[in-house]
Structure 1
Amino acid sequence: MSRSPTVTLTLVSGHLDRGAYVFEERGTSVVGRSGNCSPRLPSDEHHRTVSRHHCLLDVNPPAIRIRDLGSLNGTYLNGRKIGQRAKDETPEEAAAQTYPEHDLTDGDRIRIGDTVFRVDIHAEDTVSRARCTRCGRDVGDEAGFLPGDYLCAACQARPGAILRMLLDLAHPGHGELGVIAGYALLQELGRGGMGVVHLARHEPSGREVALKVMLPRVATRPEARERFLREAALTRALRHPNIAALEGAGYCEGVFFFTTEYCTAGGLDTLLRRSGGRLPVDEAVGFAVQALRGLEAAHGQGVVHRDLSPSNILLHKAPDGSLTAKISDFGLAKAFDRAGLSGLTRTGDAMGKPRFMPARQVTNFKDAKPAVDVWALAACLYNMLTGVYPRDFPPGEDPWRIVLESPAVPVRERDPEVPWALADVIDQALREEPAFGFHTAADLRQALLEATHG
């Protein structure tokens, strides 16, 4: 029976409790002495030269990449130093640099202090050549020679054209494409690194939806496809006034597609741009409270978003002009990544949006708890009130190092006009040590209501 690709860090020398760290699916790890690192190196005489957050591993078996995080004494790859901050630099000053990333191969050795790991890569299930599922072009190394459906770079660059082709092929009796049968595209709503979203109309009923395609960056193996669609099925079960409903999901020849509730007023990020970057206190808190109701419902069903930001808090305008906040993409982007479908990206972009992410989500990528969504929602509220992010992200500095090393700036230091009671709640919500300030959406929602309404 064939095996899926794996990456193993095998301890060659050192003083750790575990002899091997096995990665069977997409994930990231921060290596260092901090309690939230994995592998965690002990604070003993053998590891005095190891930083709290020493280096970052980005893994998508059989691929693995490493980057030093501005450690004091450097990370060594096959005996060569690949990163180290200057002796007179603080960890915060080191964040002003982005250290190069290095792709690892089978047999490479990583030394951190006196600890040495060997990289063992299992990828025996390969194909001699690979062809694009859509155009048939020989893609060679582009697909990594892994079996599965794959779209070449040229086809990936034309997601709209792929969607139109699928719509032309779709009809009610088509098992794979029946989800999108009868839809016509009206206009593009947005696009990102993984796909494109269109406003579409169901011609038989006249109903409008958001139709999204997501394009994997790697060969789509059956197990990864099934894992992602299983998580999408959990999202489809979510029904709440403050969640943009996922109505249909499918896959055909290397392309995932979804139909979701269309929110007529766009994203919260768009409203912020139109409003000069800030919203009045009552309006901002109102949107936050609504979004927290959606989070509370999702968390109650065991679903965590993991990637919350103003861009996926959508607004629906009622006939009376009132706006309702609805959380969209509930878990889809992170599920796509967790299934390994986004591949590896430079600087770890696939991990999410660092501006709205707690440090614990970086160090514990796979095991995201509801509290990470609560933190991210508080960061969104902070952004609505101040026009900036809880942490400073100067251009050119390493965003992931900033997330790991820098706590949130108290909100009244950004804007002294934020009411004291509200500021206390927001600052508490953005605390991470020794524990998250709020663990549930209900607790934060109640605290916001009490701070603003007495």
Structure 2
Amino acid sequence: MGRATVSLALVNGRGESSEFVFDERSTCLIGRGEDCSPRLPNDEHHRSVSRHHCMLDINPPDVRIRDFGSRNGTFVNGAKIGQRDPGQSAAQGRGLGTQERDLKDGDEVRLGRSVAFRVNVAVPPEEATTLVVSPEQAATLPPPGCVKCGREITQELGRRGAAAGRYVCAACQANPQDVMTLLVKLAQAGTRSDLRAIAEYDLLGELGRGGMGAVYLARHRESGRLVALKLMLPRVAANEVARARFRREVELTRRLRHPNIAALYEDGFADGAFFFTSEYCEGGSLDKLLQIRGGTLPVDEAVRYALDVLEGLDYAHNETVVHRDLSPSNILLAESTGAGMRGHGGARGSAPYVAKVGDFGLGKAFDQAGLSGLTRTGAKAGKPWYVARQQVVNFKNVPKSVDVWALAACLYKCLTGTYVRDFPGDVDQWHVILYSSPVPIRQRDPHVPRALAEVIDTALIDQQEIGFESAAAFREALRSAWKSL
């Protein structure tokens, strides 16, 4: 099965390779820095290229380039898309805001005065973005439309085109409950085999929503079992190839069975939308609990939940599954049926809930299948507050330690009510992650116990390597610091 690819061919300058090929969702830095790929030599010939010159956001066949306030500019087919003014420092250049451009097959990108790449976009027949028909046949074809409202979406689909697959338009994606209600209604009619997985459920209400869709409480008609019914709406048309990739990755997630991971049950695809049923956690999500409690939690309770999550992460990482999107919104809380430490060693109080990780691997699978679209930097999409630097530098092959970093950032939020980094509204979020270090936790709140603060600050190191390589290592250090309080 072929895949759409985006490749960069070096036509002027020297690098570690003459061609770089990307066949799945990825981001990469281009420049002379050691963490860049493509990395350009740090020599006189390439002095006009900045250390972190620009960034590519790739979701084949789509690709976007953004300048990072480079000293000598980034040019697309000779037209400048970004450059800091003479006399401005690199830090000032990073505050210029979003300077980006979508690229297409055949474009030439020049960095500074000495390096140029040619962009090549290849799409195999099974992922062709346009129908191969004669002009006469094309005139008789109806325009592509949203599978829910029928609105013509030719322009919205862009170059992925009419044959790219079933798609829910942006307007309908803004109202996911309408999409979910329609799917359940069609499922209950009993005429759609692709909706069989949710045919016996009734919707009871919305539990929450995010950038990729929403989640609802549903009850099975016969058994009365409550489940979380999740809807995921691709930002691009989901063709058969992308759907198959996504379902293969989801199957890995379905196999995860652990007390600290919310179980995934059924899944399906219909009318441009993916849907799943999973374990329902009565306590809601950690971010909702923080709202109820005024933004922070007591130390004992926060650490208890962190240790629960680390148990789940350790298990999943040993099964080679990385979450990549961990945040308080997908740390779920189930009612605790027992007192004590649930195996955390010691007897420091109790917590009303057991923490479980939700949506394990779904965000990663969505990205790798090419269903998440590209991220507009100016839109502040996603949750950059819990993203480690390594996830920006090496998006495709992120280490499992990015989940450890994200969990430490969640614990930081529970204890201080603030994020680990400051995100000024006029600065690209990726710049902040790349160029600023986490603020030591006791600078946010000096009441955080010193021994605990040292462990959390270590976990949040993300220059070169993350402070703790594994969930088990962080868990043991956190448990030891907590017991010493």
Aligned counterparts of 1:92 and 1:415: Cα–Cα separation in 2: 27
Question: Is the counterpart of residue 53 in structure 1 residue 52 in structure 2?
Answer: yes
1:318 Cα deviation after fit: 3.5
Aligned counterparts of 1:348 and 1:328: Cα–Cα separation in 2: 28
Paired residue for 2:115?
115
**The 10-residue stretch of structure 1 (285-294 or 20-29) with the greater mean CA deviation from structure 2:** 20-29
Question: Is the counterpart of residue 284 in structure 1 residue 314 in structure 2?
Answer: no
For structure 1, list consecutive stretches of 5 or more residues without a partner in the other structure.
none
Contact kept in structure 2, 1:110 and 1:117, CA below 8 Å:
yes
Aligned counterparts of 2:427 and 2:380: Cα–Cα separation in 1: 18
Identify the match of residue 421 of structure 1 among 451, 466, 471: 451
Paired residue for 1:318?
336
**The 10-residue stretch of structure 1 (61-70 or 174-183) with the greater mean CA deviation from structure 2:** 174-183
Contact kept in structure 2, 1:342 and 1:350, CA below 8 Å:
no
1:334 Cα deviation after fit: 2.4
With over 3 angstroms needed to count, the CA separation of the structure-2 counterparts of 1:357 and 1:296, relative to structure 1, is same
Q: For residue 44 of structure 2, give the secondary structure of its aligned residue in structure 1.
A: coil
Contact kept in structure 2, 1:7 and 1:24, CA below 8 Å:
yes
> How many residue pairs get matched?
453
After superposition, the C-alpha distances for 1:412-454 in whole angstroms (9 at most, x for unaligned) are: 1111111111111111111123422111001000000111103
Identify the match of residue 365 of structure 1 among 392, 395, 406: 395
Contact kept in structure 2, 1:70 and 1:99, CA below 8 Å:
no
Paired residue for 1:450?
480
Contact kept in structure 2, 1:337 and 1:350, CA below 8 Å:
no
1:244 Cα deviation after fit: 1.1
Contact kept in structure 2, 1:285 and 1:381, CA below 8 Å:
yes
**TM-score normalised per structure 2:** 0.88
Question: Is the counterpart of residue 186 in structure 1 residue 200 in structure 2?
Answer: no
Aligned counterparts of 2:299 and 2:89: Cα–Cα separation in 1: 37
Paired residue for 1:156?
173
With over 3 angstroms needed to count, the CA separation of the structure-2 counterparts of 1:180 and 1:303, relative to structure 1, is same
Contact kept in structure 1, 2:253 and 2:321, CA below 8 Å:
yes
Identify the match of residue 434 of structure 2 among 389, 404, 407: 404
Paired residue for 2:344?
none
Contact kept in structure 2, 1:73 and 1:84, CA below 8 Å:
yes
Q: Percent identity?
A: 55
**The 10-residue stretch of structure 1 (76-85 or 421-430) with the greater mean CA deviation from structure 2:** 76-85
Aligned counterparts of 2:32 and 2:384: Cα–Cα separation in 1: 22
After superposition, the C-alpha distances for 1:107-163 in whole angstroms (9 at most, x for unaligned) are: 211111311001112247222653333455442232231432222334434422222
Paired residue for 2:312?
294
Q: For residue 402 of structure 1, give the secondary structure of its aligned residue in structure 2.
A: helix
Q: Return the letter of the residue paired with 2:377.
A: T
Paired residue for 2:157?
143
1:372 Cα deviation after fit: 0.6
For structure 2, list consecutive stretches of 5 or more residues without a partner in the other structure.
132-137, 339-350
Cα RMSD between the aligned structures? 2.1
Paired residue for 1:206?
224
Q: For residue 170 of structure 1, give the secondary structure of its aligned residue in structure 2.
A: helix
Question: Is the counterpart of residue 221 in structure 1 residue 239 in structure 2?
Answer: yes
Contact kept in structure 1, 2:375 and 2:381, CA below 8 Å:
no
1:200 Cα deviation after fit: 0.7
With over 3 angstroms needed to count, the CA separation of the structure-2 counterparts of 1:372 and 1:244, relative to structure 1, is same
Contact kept in structure 2, 1:217 and 1:342, CA below 8 Å:
yes
Q: Please show how residues 255-294 of structure 1 align to structure 2 within 5 Å.
A: 255-294=273-312
Q: For residue 177 of structure 1, give the secondary structure of its aligned residue in structure 2.
A: helix
Q: Return the letter of the residue paired with 1:378.
A: A
1:50 Cα deviation after fit: 2.1
Contact kept in structure 1, 2:109 and 2:118, CA below 8 Å:
yes
Aligned counterparts of 1:152 and 1:388: Cα–Cα separation in 2: 35
Aligned counterparts of 1:244 and 1:258: Cα–Cα separation in 2: 12
Q: For residue 33 of structure 2, give the secondary structure of its aligned residue in structure 1.
A: coil
Q: Please show how residues 52-91 of structure 1 align to structure 2 within 5 Å.
A: 52-91=51-90
Q: For residue 194 of structure 2, give the secondary structure of its aligned residue in structure 1.
A: coil
Aligned counterparts of 2:321 and 2:148: Cα–Cα separation in 1: 33
Paired residue for 1:375?
405
Identify the match of residue 263 of structure 2 among 234, 242, 245: 245
Aligned counterparts of 1:418 and 1:134: Cα–Cα separation in 2: 51
With over 3 angstroms needed to count, the CA separation of the structure-2 counterparts of 1:50 and 1:81, relative to structure 1, is same
Aligned counterparts of 1:352 and 1:54: Cα–Cα separation in 2: 23
Aligned counterparts of 2:209 and 2:465: Cα–Cα separation in 1: 36
After superposition, the C-alpha distances for 1:68-90 in whole angstroms (9 at most, x for unaligned) are: 11222221222222212234444
1:164 Cα deviation after fit: 1.9
Aligned counterparts of 1:100 and 1:54: Cα–Cα separation in 2: 12
Contact kept in structure 2, 1:251 and 1:257, CA below 8 Å:
yes
1:381 Cα deviation after fit: 1.1
